[in-house]
Amino acid sequence: ETGVTQSPTHLIKTRGQQVTLRCSSQSGHNTVSWYQQALGQGPQFIFQYYREEENGRGNFPPRFSGLQFPNYSSELNVNALELDDSALYLCASSLVSLAGTGANVLTFGAGSRLTVL
Amino acid sequence: KNEVEQSPQNLTAQEGEFITINCSYSVGISALHWLQQHPGGGIVSLFMLSSGKKKHGRLIATINIQEKHSSLHITASHPRDSAVYICAVNTGTASKLTFGTGTRLQVTL
């Protein structure tokens, strides 16, 4: 059973650029959620994808967008990068039987650390 | 005021000590998670609970729904337990978690 893998592990961008982060969910999981963790802070929920559709979103602007693919892997895209976007971006997968119901154990990836200069 | 508060923020213990980390929340929840984060970022799920108590090895998690409070206990602590311990709650959408800011635990020899 494979866990959640994220790529790249580290990257550096400059303000105004765009970035795509990738996440392969754990085998058997159908839901992916993304979190932003600034240095010294707890993670903040960005959004969740279930069956290729966005299913819940946190307080993040539209320049944060995502995709989920038929194999349940996912991408997080951030446009017009700002300095405050520098953070660790965590992906977590879970198995949800019906969107929006219940609570599930999450399996987290190791994260992608983004630095915006 | 954050919806999820943890205490203490930092904790130093000697090997073998019994450790307690507390989490209080102010919203209705469907479940509470205890997570462990090591330097470098990776997060491991330790417990998910919605009532009562769970035990895994030297770790014990309890929750009191009426008091909106949970505790994570580590018995016979070891230096490898050194990490940040994060409390998070499910408040709506299945995977939408609201996190506390974490408790940084350092266990010394």
Q: What is the mean pLDDT of chain A?
A: 90
Distance between CA atoms of A113 and A11, rounded to whole angstroms?
A: 6
- Asked if the C-beta of A66 comes within 8 angstroms of chain B's C-beta atoms, the answer is no
Provide the pLDDT for residue A103.
66
Residue range A24-78, pLDDT digits in tens: 999 888 889 999 999 888 899 999 998 889 988 989 999 999 999 998 899 999 9
Residue range B8-39, pLDDT digits in tens: 999 999 999 999 999 999 988 889 999 999 88
Provide the pLDDT for residue B42.
85
Residue range B48-85, pLDDT digits in tens: 999 999 999 999 999 999 999 999 999 999 999 999 99
- Which of A42, A44, A92 is closest, CB to CB, to B95? A92
- Asked if the C-beta of B51 comes within 8 angstroms of chain A's C-beta atoms, the answer is no
**Kind of pairing, strands B83-90 and B31-37?**
antiparallel
- Asked if the C-beta of B50 comes within 8 angstroms of chain A's C-beta atoms, the answer is yes
Distance between CA atoms of B30 and B44, rounded to whole angstroms?
A: 20
Contacts of B100 in chain A (CB under 8 A): 42
A-proximal residues of B, 69-88, CB under 8 Å: 86, 88
